[in-house]
Amino acid sequence: PVGAQEWVPPQPWSIEKLKSAAGDCQGCELYADATQTVFGRGAPNAKVVLVGEQPGDVEDQKGLPFVGPAGRLLREAVDDAGLDAGDVYITNAVKHFRFELRGKRRIHQNPGPAHITACRPWLVAEFSLLQPELVVILGATAGKALLGPSFRVTQQRGKLMPWPASAQHPEDFPVAEIQALATFHPSAVLRADDRETAYRTLVDDLKVAAGAVS
Ligand code: URA
Ligand code: SF4
């Protein structure tokens, strides 16, 4: 893939301007089969940016991030953690839905490293514009996208980490004093055998996030 860079508009940016430009992105092949680009959404002055994997089936149809079952769980957890929804912006590492057709059903497929790399300029632009205090990494794909291939959510979740010291490409995130915190992806909570415990862990991690921002 050629990557999203050539679709990123010149500055000055706004979320609306970036979203509109991302609507035309053909930086990798995922645009071809998906319904539309699903850009991030939230407060323009958000202190906390939550980064998921990629839009799911419902998000692909509605054009908005985290509006399906995983999104419902995530918004509830954000609320239960005492994070103000007005302080939060939610986005994904990859902005088109990757799926495999089985009959009429569209089955979610994980994005590959090439999709994550291709889509990265949008995430960089969102971070540059929002200048968040804290980035919450939801699950393994976002973790690998932001912290590198050795990221393991089970080992690194729940702890505030400095940024960009541990990031894979610190040079392209022009963000001053930013922290990161990894936690479970809400879809992993939905799939967990012990959903209650997984949910409580997600909420506890988000409480750490809430306590870390002014
Ligand atoms: N899962 C994600 O990672 N992102 C969404 O937007 C929806 C489900
Ligand atoms: Fe562009 Fe990202 Fe969509 Fe690929 S997934 S076409 S890089 S917006």
CB 202 within 8 A of CB 77: yes
Q: Which tens digits make up the pLDDT trace of 25-73? A: 999 999 999 999 999 999 999 999 999 999 999 999 999 999 999 999 9
Q: What is the pLDDT of residue 146?
A: 83
Q: What is the pLDDT of residue 17?
A: 98
The C-alpha atoms of residue 153 and residue 184 are separated, in whole angstroms, by 7
Number of other CB atoms surrounding residue 142 within 10 Å: 28
Write the CATH number for 123: 3.40.470.10
Q: Which tens digits make up the pLDDT trace of 128-171? A: 899 899 999 999 989 988 888 888 999 999 999 887 555 555 55
The C-alpha atoms of residue 34 and residue 56 are separated, in whole angstroms, by 10
The ipTM of this complex is 0.96
Ligand 2, closest atom to CA 3? 7
Tell me the mean pLDDT in the region 113-128.
93
Local confidence band at 176 (pLDDT 50, 70, 90 cut-offs): low
Which residues are CB-contacts of 7 (< 8 A; sequence separation ≥ 6)? 21, 22, 24, 25, 26, 27
| CA 35–ligand 1 middle distance (angstroms) | 15
Percent of the chain with pLDDT over 90: 83
Residue 22 CB less than 6 A away from ligand 2:
yes
Q: What is the pLDDT of residue 9?
A: 97
Q: What is the pLDDT of residue 205?
A: 98
Half-sphere exposure of 54 (CA within 13 A, CB side): 27
Ligand 2, closest atom to CA 111? 5
Number of domains in the chain: 1
Q: What is the pLDDT of residue 174?
A: 56
Question: Among 20-24, 161-165, 202-206, where is mean pLDDT lowest?
Answer: 161-165
Number of other CB atoms surrounding residue 172 within 10 Å: 15
Q: Which tens digits make up the pLDDT trace of 87-111? A: 999 999 999 999 999 999 999 999 9
Q: Which domain range does residue 194 map to?
A: 4-212
The C-alpha atoms of residue 115 and residue 28 are separated, in whole angstroms, by 6
Write out residues with Cβ below 6 Å of ligand 1: 52-56, 59, 65-66, 68, 70-71, 92, 187
